[in-house]
Amino acid sequence: MKLPSQFEPQAKPEPVVSAGEFPFAAIGLDHGHIYTQCEELVNAGASLHYVYDPDDKKLAEFTKKFPDVQVLNSEAEVLDKDIRLVAAACQTHERAALGVRVMEAGKDYFVDKAPFISLEQLSAVKAAIAKTGKKFMVFYGERLHSECAMHAGDLIQEGAIGRVVQVLGLGPHRLNAGTRPDWFFQRDKYGGILCDIGSHQLEQFLHYGGETGAEIVSARVDNFAHPDYPELNDFGEASLKGANGCSSYFRVDWFTPDGLSTWGDGRTVILGTNGYIELRKYVDVARAASRDHLYLVTSEDEYYLHLNDKVGFPFFGQLILDCLNRTETAMTQAHALKAGELAVRAQMQAEAV
């Protein structure tokens, strides 16, 4: 059966500004997500002018990808430049404090998840936002950089499955322990598995469920198979109930087997009163190694959409325009912070048990 026209993906987004209209910089290259953050901002029309990191090796790799960027000698030198935004993916425990300094310097801030690892850091971020009026925006890539995940939100907005009543999330990752830096295995630096990759799942729950907050019903973390890294959580799970009644369960882990063709079989199932959506984001196991598979079941029929290179990533252009116009189209500030807060609270509750 042909997909109803209102459920078809729209045209991929075009750049929203001209060259030089939205200059930005990068600080902190500790996680590879910084490449995606910068690349997609550039694709949306932004101009990457400057970069700083204390590690010369990381800078050398970054400038291979972005050869026109100017390397500066310090964070202070970057913050003194005439730029509108700083993108960052430094060590997780450093992200909140850097964001405060960026906002106090009069720039908006775009940081990789997890944005903070404690409620104290969250309080400092909120205070800086209130004082400066600047944005502290977060890259929750498992939705914002997944075409099927972005289109799922559009389908929900169009009423394809009715009211969302439950969001089920699976976020497995491949550990590749030998390639990870030391800080990745230190609890006071990476925050724990629910704080870290669990933040992706919590952001999706809030977004798809239309929730502004939630109660953590249960949470658990463990280390099943990595005694050499005693502070690592290799497994985590949590159950939540939203303020408006939508519920969620998610599982995150570092157990992706070597036989899988990609780093993780990330999936999301969104149940509505009139249908459901399943996302197979990065692979359709034993069927297709490509990304962005969406399965939709409605009261009329079953549908399959292969959305790779069909939707694009509109968040980045929306973020640029939000910074220019002081709007909240891409994501509200409250939403960005609430997802991170719930991740911290879930981690705290899990470890207390």
DSSP labels for 169-232? EEEE----GGGS-GGGG-HHHH--TTTTTHHHHHHHHHHHHT-S-EEEEEEEEE-SS-TTSTT-
pLDDT at 4: 87
Percent of the chain with pLDDT over 70: 99
Query: Are the C-beta atoms of residues 267 and 170 closer than 8 Å to each other?
Result: yes
**8-state DSSP, 350:** H
Across the range 276-287, mean pLDDT stands at 97
Distance (Å, whole) CA 262 – CA 307: 18
pLDDT at 353: 58
Residue 29: partners with Cβ closer than 8 Å, 6 or more residues away: 51, 53, 55, 58, 59, 61, 62, 89, 90
| pTM value surpassing 0.95 | yes
Q: What domains can you pick out in the chain, each with its CATH number?
A: 23-140+319-326 (3.40.50.720), 143-314+344-352 (3.30.360.10)
Distance (Å, whole) CA 320 – CA 329: 10
pLDDT at 256 over 70: yes
pLDDT at 49: 98
pLDDT at 1: 66
Residue 58: partners with Cβ closer than 8 Å, 6 or more residues away: 29, 30
pLDDT at 5: 87
pLDDT at 118 over 80: yes
pLDDT band of 36, cuts 50, 70, 90: very high
pLDDT at 3: 86
Identify the helix (H) or strand (E) that includes residue 98.
helix 95-104
pLDDT at 37 over 80: yes
Angle at 111 between CA 109 and CA 114, to 5 degrees: 140
What mean pLDDT, rounded, does the chain reach? 97
For helices 33-43 and 56-65, the axis angle rounded to 10 degrees is 30
Identify the helix (H) or strand (E) that includes residue 166.
strand 164-172
Distance (Å, whole) CA 191 – CA 115: 10
pLDDT at 309: 97
- Out of 58-62, 109-113, 261-265, 348-352, least confident range: 348-352
Across the range 119-148, mean pLDDT stands at 98
Angle at 215 between CA 212 and CA 221, to 5 degrees: 120
